[in-house]
């Protein structure tokens, strides 16, 4: 058990719709990041939040956005869904302590299918 | 930009035997961290082992050990006494020092442990 939980586990959306995925981090973790994992690929970094502010983003368009809340929960929002957005979305949390590397813990993911 | 390459899409090993998974990476950074993650069919990403680049000693965790060759930018994972529960996708990942949650993953190696 990593202490990172995600919801929903599976969902199906129609192209053009919007979706919100949720994540609850380990208590005390101040950093949350989101990854997209297409079938047969390694996870791709979407963005990360530190103390409720986005401070890093991968190569994803602005229709991917997020929020981090004081209670260690976070959201990933995707607008104007496209078929290629179909993937497993992984939430990961950690406690960042400066230049020392932090161990990152993952949730079980949310499977999104866009039809 | 950093890249991570796993050149073995699939590997198989007999139960109780030893197997080595390969990983190479490319970076100009001097401070970084390397990880091996395991992803079983349940899809949760589980940390197997972690290596700090500034440490010369190879990391070990029970049956799992790494061969870290910094000059060659190589980071292989050795699994001893393979067990059926080791069957999973294995991902090598890189994180720049000071980065809070931005892991760069390889494409993974599918390991099958046969009875």
Nearest to B90 by CA among B15, B31, B11, B16: B11
Residue range B5-10: average pLDDT? Answer: 96
The mean predicted confidence, pLDDT, of chain B is 94
Longest dimension (CA), chain A: 43
- Please report, rounded to a whole number, the percentage of residues in chain A having pLDDT higher than 90: 69
A74 in reach of chain B (CB within 8 A): no
Give A23-55 as a DSSP string: EEPPTT--EEEEEEE-TTS--EEEEEEETTEEE
**CB neighbour list of residue A39: distance below 8 Å, 6 or more residues apart:** A87
pLDDT band at A101 (very low <50, low <70, confident <90, very high): low
pLDDT band at B58 (very low <50, low <70, confident <90, very high): very high
Flag whether pLDDT at A104 surpasses 80.
Answer: yes
Flag whether pLDDT at B102 surpasses 90.
Answer: no
CB-CB contact of A73 with A56 (8 Å): no
Please report residues of B whose CB lies closer than 8 A to that of A41. 107-108
Flag whether pLDDT at A99 surpasses 60.
Answer: no
Task: Please tell me which of the candidates A42, A105, A108 has its beta carbon nearest to residue B43.
Answer: A108
Residue B103's pLDDT is 92
Flag whether pLDDT at A1 surpasses 70.
Answer: no
* Minimum Cα–Cα distance from A99: chain B residue: B98
The mean predicted confidence, pLDDT, of chain A is 91
A contact residues 34-53, partner B, Cβ 8 Å cutoff? 35, 40-45, 48, 50
* Minimum Cα–Cα distance from B52: chain A residue: A101
Flag whether pLDDT at A94 surpasses 90.
Answer: no
Residue A36's pLDDT is 98
Who wins on pLDDT, B87 or B100? B87
The pair phi, psi for residue A81, each rounded to 5°, is -55, 140
Longest dimension (CA), chain B: 43
**CB neighbour list of residue B104: distance below 8 Å, 6 or more residues apart:** A45, B2, B3, B4, B93, B94, B95
A10-19, B47-56, B58-67, B75-84: least confident range = B47-56
Distance CA B97, CA B75 (A): 17
Residue range B50-66: average pLDDT? Answer: 93
Q: In this predicted model, what pLDDT tens digit does every residue of A63-84 receive, in sequence order?
A: 999 999 988 789 999 999 999 9
Residue A47's pLDDT is 94
């Amino acid at each position: 058990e990593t202490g990172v939980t995600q919801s929903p586990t599976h969902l199906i959306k129609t192209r053009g719709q919007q979706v919100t995925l949720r994540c609850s981090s380990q208590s005390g973790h101040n950093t949350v990041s989101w990854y997209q994992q297409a079938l047969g690929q390694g996870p791709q970094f979407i963005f990360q939040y530190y103390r409720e502010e986005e401070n890093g983003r991968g190569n994803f368009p602005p229709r991917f956005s997020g929020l981090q809340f004081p209670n260690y929960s976070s959201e990933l929002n995707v607008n104007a869904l496209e078929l290629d957005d179909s993937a497993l979305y992984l939430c990961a949390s950690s406690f960042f302590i400066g230049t020392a590397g932090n161990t990152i813990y993952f949730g079980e993911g949310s499977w999104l299918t866009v039809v | 930009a950093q890249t991570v390459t796993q050149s073995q899409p699939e590997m198989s090993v007999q139960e109780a035997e030893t197997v080595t998974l390969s990983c190479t990476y490319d970076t100009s950074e001097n401070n970084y961290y390397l990880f091996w993650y395991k992803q079983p069919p349940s899809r949760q990403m589980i940390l197997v082992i972690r290596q700090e680049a500034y440490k010369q000693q190879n990391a070990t965790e029970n049956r799992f050990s790494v061969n870290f060759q910094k000059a060659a930018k190589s980071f292989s994972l050795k699994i001893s006494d393979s067990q059926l529960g080791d069957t999973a996708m294995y991902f090598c990942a890189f994180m720049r020092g000071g980065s809070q949650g931005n892991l760069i993953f390889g494409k993974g190696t599918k390991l099958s442990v046969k009875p």
